[in-house]
Structure 1
């Protein structure tokens, strides 16, 4: 099987951009060159990896190949960084994080990394709690800030701790309280985010012996906040999301604090990219 790195890179970029045109723009190649590279990969492995009719879609074989392609490219990138002749850390490192971390923590970390690693470019990939460990192992990202990882990843570093808090309208009767009991939030109906917070909210109820019920389940934090604004319920979100709040919503602590550990780590199933280790060391 005579696979080449350009073929693997073309496949991954087509998937990431959603089109051969987008991949060509990102790679600085012609669209025909990208198409030729993917076709060569298909010929080498003996099957179609991409359906080209009506848009780009991976075949079943393509899904299997993509995971290995990402891992191979991540390993090559790590090797290139490891053997840089003058020892200067340079290159691009991809880091995954949930929305609240992207909004509330990374703006503080990025200047630190820029000062300590001036020749390193950090690319941010926003995902959900459940996606980030998968992205790490598949090579989609080189490092990730994981939420409450268990067990603690080998070599990982605690970079922040925040708490879950209630979000209500500014004119809500609970808005003036210094702390809101979890049970009080059930009266108005909870709006929960399936992007990662829901599991934590459910455990809060289990710990206090309360039934876990919700009025609405949404994915995007912006949708959740909009529904709270419209009086459709209340919510529980990480306090790092404070900067995302619309002006007419307020965030109040829960009576019983619920901390959330944020850990910067690399993959557990393969060697870390040198730049991922550099991020951890510099954080």
Structure 2
């Protein structure tokens, strides 16, 4: 089954440009245009509108888009099954992940799995919590590491609670404490991790007005650690982010303890390729 024209259609809609789609798929712009015209001729209807701002779906295209997407997803799953039947040690596993898990968990998981299945390839997409959920839902990845709770339409397997930790400059007054009461966080300059707008510590930040007092706001956890090292403030980060921390900073728990709940999620477990199912089992059995 040749789904090439469907894949070109999806990529063009995703990028909103014939030129960009051609560059990514290694076609000329005229080649992309020819394929899309052929698809529209096959359907007997126009699916796309084109103007100076780019390419976008018309009403018919919006109706057909999820079905075309499903065809491509099923074709990829079919290819995986065929590959597996031909060789139980072949295939590609696509994973949605976040920085902390990519550094703390994935290297060991991938290495140990490749010792069993040395010819398996991995594709990893790194993003925020919301990005990963969308990638799973849209079929861009086979599975993804997420923070609970997640969307109801995903199959979720709980992995572990990750303790949220206060990070302080070396020699900071709060470093004398084994655990830091929440109210004391408001007494010092605070560096806000932007994802805290939707996080486990949001209640703390709101209760003590910490977010509104934050002079520095960023979504880069390594930037936060560097700024803390330079004495620019204190912050709170997930424990996994601090795994093998390269910065000279103090790390303390919070009182009461705060956690984020981590899980691995898939769209439908029964449509995973056999090798992806094996890797899912490997994750569930080998999380540190």
What TM-score, normalized by structure 2, do the two folds share?
Answer: 0.75
Structure 1 residue 23: Cα displacement:
5.1
Q: 1:100 maps to what in 2?
A: 100
Give me the whole-angstrom Cα distance separating, in 1, the residues matched to 2:250 and 2:17. Answer: 41
Alignment partners' CA distance in 2, 1:120 and 1:10: 26
Please tell me whether the aligned partners of residues 181 and 256 of structure 1 are also in contact (alpha carbons under 8 angstroms): yes
SS in 1 for 2:141: coil
**What is the rounded CA distance, in whole Å, between the counterparts of 2:77 and 2:226 in structure 1?**
42
1:140 aligns with 2:140: yes
Q: Larger % of helix: which?
A: 2
Aligned partner of residue 199 in structure 2, secondary structure: helix
* Structure-2 change in CA distance of 1:31 and 1:282 (3 Å): farther
Q: Which residue of 2 aligns with 1:77?
A: 76
Cα separation, 2, equivalents of 1:114 and 1:197: 38
For residues 50 and 145 of structure 1, the distance between their equivalents in structure 2, rounded to whole angstroms, comes to: 37
Q: In structure 2, what is the Cα distance between the partners aligned to 1:64 and 1:225?
A: 47
1:6 maps to which residue? 4
CA distance in structure 2 between the partners assigned to 1:63 and 1:170 by the alignment: 55
- In the aligned structure 1, how far is the partner of 2:280 from the partner of 2:210? 39
Moved more, 225-234 or 18-27: 18-27
Instruction: Label 1:252 to 1:136 Cα distance change in 2 as closer, same or farther (>3 A).
Output: same
1:193 is aligned to 193
Equivalent residues of 2:10, 2:69 under 8 A apart: yes
Contact 1:93–1:123 under 8 Å retained in 2: yes
Q: Answer yes or no: is 1:213 the counterpart of 2:204.
A: no
1:67–1:94 distance in 2 versus 1, CA, 3 Å: farther
Q: Does the aligned pair in 2 maintain the 1:20–1:34 contact within 8 Å?
A: yes
The answer (yes or no) to whether the contact 1:266–1:276 under 8 Å persists in 2 is no
Asked whether the equivalents of residues 194 and 218 of structure 2 are also in contact (C-alpha less than 8 Å), the reply is: yes
Q: Secondary structure at the match of 2:86?
A: coil
8 Å Cα contact 2:12/2:55 also seen in 1: no
Aligned partners of 1:229 and 1:16: how far apart in 2?
40
Name the CA distance, whole Å, in 1 between partners of 2:229 and 2:16.
34
Which sections of structure 2, spanning at least 5 residues, go unmatched? 284-288
Contact 1:128 1:196 in 2 (8 A): no
Which residue is 2:286 aligned to? none
Q: 1:170 to 1:154 in 2, by over 3 A?
A: same
Q: Is 25-34 or 85-94 further displaced after alignment?
A: 25-34
Q: What is the CA-CA distance between 1:93 and the residue it aligns to?
A: 1.7
Q: Is the 8 A contact 2:229 2:249 kept in 1?
A: yes
1:257 is matched with 257
Q: Give 1 or 2 for the bigger CA radius of gyration.
A: 2
Tell me what 1:120 maps to: 120
Change in Cα spacing, 1:12 to 1:235, as seen in structure 2 (3 Å) is farther
1:216-243, Cα deviation, whole Å (9 max, x unpaired): 4433324433443454432111111114
Tell me the CA shift for residue 83 of structure 1: 3.5
Higher alpha-carbon deviation: 143-152 or 132-141? 143-152
2:31 corresponds to which residue? 33
- Select between 77-86 and 120-129 the one with higher mean Cα deviation: 77-86
CA distance in 1, matches of 2:115, 2:197: 32
Residue 96 of structure 1 deviates from its aligned partner by 0.6
Cα distance change, pair 58–254 in 1 and its aligned pair in 2 (3 A): farther
- CA RMSD for the aligned pairs? 3.7
Post-superposition Cα deviations, 1:234-255, rounded to whole Å, max 9, x if no partner, equal 2111111114745233322223
What SS is found at the alignment partner of 2:250?
Answer: strand
